[in-house]
Structure 1
């Protein structure tokens, strides 16, 4: 089974199958420089949740709980399953995100969620 890892969109591409996991394209980043192989908008937090979180570290725990709930149902769950299927093909998946904060962002929650799902299967 392939692995998952995180990389900010503004950092140089360094291999792997690069999937943008943001609902919005990273500001000021050209498509060529981003070197994105796939864009999984559906796995990103809902617009309402993203706005409520507003990238404030003090809201991260609550945001994480709500985002995990979104990843369990609907299009976010389907998107997460698609990412797991890609990794099952022995592909190293790079989850690309645009947030400045490398600790308090949805990609951190997503990779933890996917790692847990991989262990269960």
Structure 2
């Protein structure tokens, strides 16, 4: 099981990032594919358009947003694709475009993935 970290897409890609996965639904403004240095783009793992618009990156709504986003993730088959990527690599960096480095969907997604991997590790194999 690999580690999961998050990083803004506008920060330079580094060799220590491991596999870089864009987890935004929309392509980041002004970013070229070369500069983004991504292995893949999993837009379906991002919050729904409705949830993203409702939240509007309002810090006062973040706790409620995080709960709603986790509920979406529970029902989202794209999470399985992302979990498979994380399991296959020593380090996965979830890349996002939001300005706030702590109040963003990638932070919630990272926490969700880490918990899902821990839960799976504790579940005995059938």
* C-alpha distance in structure 1 between counterparts of 2:26 and 2:89, whole Å: 28
Deviation at residue 78 of structure 1 after TM alignment: 1.5
* C-alpha distance in structure 2 between counterparts of 1:28 and 1:104, whole Å: 22
- What secondary structure, in the 3-state scheme, does the structure 1 residue paired with 2:64 have? helix
**What is the RMSD computed on CA atoms of the aligned residues?**
0.9
- After superposition, where does 1:1-121 map in structure 2 within 5 Å? 1-15=1-15, 16-73=18-75, 77-121=76-120
> What TM-score, normalized to structure 2?
0.90
> What TM-score, normalized to structure 1?
0.94
Deviation at residue 80 of structure 1 after TM alignment: 1.4
4+ runs deviating over 2 angstroms: none
Deviation at residue 90 of structure 1 after TM alignment: 3.4
Q: Give ranges in structure 2 of 5+ residues lacking alignment.
A: 121-126
* C-alpha distance in structure 1 between counterparts of 2:117 and 2:14, whole Å: 23
Deviation at residue 3 of structure 1 after TM alignment: 1.2
Q: Give ranges in structure 1 of 5+ residues lacking alignment.
A: none
